[in-house]
Structure 1
Amino acid sequence: MAELLIVDTDQSCISNIRHIVENSDYNFLRIYEANNAQRAMMMLKQSRPSALIMDVSLPNMDGIDFGKNVLLIYPDLPIIAITGLKMFEIVQSAINAGFSAYLLKPLTKNQLLNIFDRVLRPIIKMEISQTVKNEGEFELDLRKPIQSAVQYIQLHYNECLTLKNIADKVYLSPSYFSKSFKEEIGMTFVEYLSWIRVQKAKNMLRMISLPIDVIANNTGFANSSYFATTFKKIEGKTPTQYREHFFWERKKDIN
């Protein structure tokens, strides 16, 4: 998920990181925080963030040891170690532990965003790719043309689809395909296509905190405005309201 977990007792440092993130291209990140290793580990076991920023001096555990334990759970998780201590031994320990980066406090905007570009941007791109990738291959069954059409739509929902090109895929005339689709599925072709796209969008809204226009583009909608209108018509709330409700419920579960 496109989330950032900050583990630190220094509230001014956390506020600084929040300010930098919220005023950058990474403002879509959901930021969570913990002030000790035990709390942070509980949160990590419930959900894998896209990156972890942690002070190497934690109240109930050595930060380096905590980071090593985290990497046992998530070997590929980017860990950014931060500290106010200018000690080569700490830098060496962080490198040896397999952390992705090491920064001295106070953190500057350029330093942090450069690290994000290096270690976080590739993770986010991978999350998008995994979320929208087509799973499986289309298999046409001429005995079940409508079910074959449904399968094709589910695999290619993020592409430009029309009734005619789907009808052509299953070797039916557009008019016969339209009539048969409504009879068998209980929705028109357009209604079903919109519905499946909204279901895929809901998964993205729950899984990754990307901008709405990015999700709209990756689920086949022409623009974010049409996406929001269609989403509200089907779900009764806008994509933003849906996301906020989901994360509020999740936060209650964590707490």
Structure 2
Amino acid sequence: MYMAGLLILDYEKIIRQEIKLIFKESQYNHLSIYESDSGKSALSIFQQKKPSLVIMDLSLPDVDGIQLGKEFIKISPKVSVIVLSQLTMFEMVESSINAGFSGYLIKPLSKVKLLSIVDRLQIPDLFQHSTDTSKESESVDAAKQPVKHALEFIHNKYQDELTLHEVANYVYLSDCYFSRLFKAEMKISFIEYLKKYRLNQAKRLLKMTSFPIEVIANNTGFANASYFTTTFKRMEGKTPTEYRGDFVKLFDKTH
């Protein structure tokens, strides 16, 4: 049976206190909070309490953090494990993701990022009030599908200056790992996908509005009209003006 609880595992007492304070001052202040400074003690607590959420440092004095996290999931498959670490090595991040952990945050601790990832996980019994289970299912599904979640973010933010780092950070992955994952799933790089998506939005505006080229460029995420025109011609074989002109001619013929 899962309990609306949080297990904090970190060798440093000050870190554990900081995390406790963050949760006590948040909407999750009703949670039962357990803490430990060692892997063996944490495992014992986990077996007894079976909390819904674990926040843990991987650098433990007595056990392998990755293996311990896997053990938590083996005991309670629905538990969410969030890693809080000073290690930024790609291999460690990748190992955490492959182990089925729900997030990887870098120390020093960011209150905003920590609560953001907990909000995104939407763990049902972390909330005091019942919520629609279908919505919870969708949220958990999105959290477990970072590329799908990233696409939604891109489609909402394509008009702005958008970098791979910003999107990777949004889905709590390293730049390198997110780039590889995105290309493997979408069969196209992040940069090319973003460029094509912006271009398709620009084509829609060229066909359906009389906005000047400069306005369309600015509203579809291109740095300026010159870059927009150059990119458009390279990818479409004609300039934005020529594209619009061809559409107008075709429209006139059919009407």
With the shorter chain as reference, the TM-score category is 0.3 to 0.5
What's the TM-score, normalizing by structure 2? 0.48
